[in-house]
Structures are given as structure tokens and as C-alpha cells.
Structure 1
Amino acid sequence: MTTALIYAKPNQRQIYEDYSAKIYRYFRYRVKNIWDVEDLTTTVFIKVYSKLDQYDGRHPFGAWIFRIAHNALIDHMRKKRECPVDQDTFSTMAATDKLPEECLLTQETTEGLWQKVHTLTTDQRNVISLRYLADLRMNEIAEILGKTEASVKILHFRGIKKLQQMMDAKA
């Protein structure tokens, strides 16, 4: 006898509180224009609220909502033919609660790292973005990208390994 895990549907306010910042951050690192980021975020929540009755509870809610976000991003990039964000965007988003020297070091490291992330394959970039920008688990990423969890783990491992090799070569 198999037991199916059923996930509960959160209410609309809870959905927004739990996911708005994560989804916004996911788009912010992928889309150049801040207004497009805001529009995409709004679009995702409109779609989520309108399709909430279609959520069947068999998969984690986070994976379901990020699948909607991922599809919205793909649609946006197809329409706009936009490339991922340039490095200026990453450097302006550095934390400001540190000493200036620490901020500069963090900014340089972040810029270098994200330059290298953009050299990875599209699948590796997607996995790393969803893992570290959206703070999702591997099973949620697999659900979003329509891949097996094993293939997502392999993409993550190979992407991280390649980034480590590039960072070691730089040092």
C-alpha cells in the first residue's frame, strides 16, 4: 500500500507573504528591466490565484508556484528576446550593512562568480539560480524544470564543480 503525500493549499495572503520576495529575487537576477520584474511578479500571482483551484496537492506548493514563475520567465524572454542580467545589476544589489572594504570584496567576488555562472549551460544556470536565488530544494527544482531529481542533482554538481574550477584557475 502506497501513501500519497497531500499538501494543503495556503490562503492568498499567506502565498504572497511566503513567495513574493523569492519570486521577485528570482526574476530580478534574470531580467534587466525592473518594471518587467515587477510585472512578471504580479503576473505570477495573478496566475497563481486564478489557478489555485487547479493545484491538486500532490506536489509541494513551492514547486508548483515556481513552475508558474519559470514558465512566465520563459514566455517573457521569448517575447523580449532578452539576455540575462548584466553584471552592473549584481554589483548594485550587494549588502550595505558591512564595512566598505567587506562590501567591495563581496561585490568583486559576486561579480566574478556571476560572470562565471553565465558561462554554464542553460540547464546548469537554471538549477543554480533556482537553488541559490530562489532558495528551492532539489525536488522542487526538478518539478519546475520538468526533470528528474537525479538529473537536477547532476546538473547542480557539474555546475558547481565547473564554477569551482574556474574560481581556482582565477586565484
Structure 2
Amino acid sequence: MKVILSIVALSLGVSSAFADPRDRDYRTDEVRDIQERLVELRLVDRGFEVDGVYGSGTREAVRDFQRDHNISPADGEAGPRTVDALFGEGDKGAPQQQARGRCKSEEISSTGNARPIESWALKLAKKNWREEVRARYGEEWSDYNNAQVSLSKCFESSVGGVPLKRCRIVATPCNPI
């Protein structure tokens, strides 16, 4: 079945960049982000290589994470629920109004690159927002969890007929007291 889908995708001119990131030994930046998060959370052994390849080591670490967080099935695949839990995403559509402390007067907007899974697109938008805030105000202001979010919206786009998600956020950087 995958061979047929690959042939159809190639005949339509669809890049292999849109292949399913859960395929065995598939290499993407998203996989690298997942691996880096697994390292941050100390869910992998020392010597775990962050290489962007979704191989057996990554699959086993994701499976352990799923078991620890009661995500079923615990199959080692980084689907939307697992990615949301890994990166601490709550309700993706609702703006957060939990900011505490002092805030800047300007809102920073950011849009992430198009991705096949919405939670990854949202994660990229937040990553871009953090980078922009760091560049303007420094590291201490770049915590998205303390920001006053006025917009967090994802929408569909399409490249070569492949449905993708793209997300945009607008938030005011805040620094907790």
C-alpha cells in the first residue's frame, strides 16, 4: 500500500517531505524536535542520538512516554495526541489568558510552516514566536506559557493537493514577577 501511495505521490509531483513521519526510519525536522523533547524530559538513555530518524530508539522512548501519560494505544507512534502531550499543548483553539507579571506593550505575531499535523504546525508557530521575542527582548521574555495570547489559530492549506495545516499566533510577551 505504501509503495502505491509513494508512486501516486511521485506521479503527482508531491515531495517526499510530506511522507508520514511515523514510517520506519523516516528522517524529518519534526522527528528531531520530538527527539530533542525526549532528551529534555530525560526519557532517553545517555548516548541517545538526536539524528532526526524515527527509528527503534525513538519509537521505544515515545512508547514509554505514552504509557506514562496513559495515551492509548501505546504504539510508539507520535500522533497528534502524543505530540500535544510531549510539547504541553492544551486546547489548541482557545487563547490563553493566564499571563502573570509584567508584560511588554507590543504583540508579537508568528506563523509556522505548513505541516501535515496541526500540533506540529502550532509548535512551529510557537517556536518562531519565541525566536522573535528572544531577538527583540532577550531570553527571559520568551516563555510562551507566560504570554498573553490574543490569537492562536490554525488553518488548512494545500501543496500539490496534499492537505497541510498552518498556524498563526499573536501574543504579548510577559515576564513573571
TM-score, normalised to structure 1, is: 0.27
Higher helix share: 1
Higher strand share: 2
TM-score, normalised to structure 2, is: 0.27
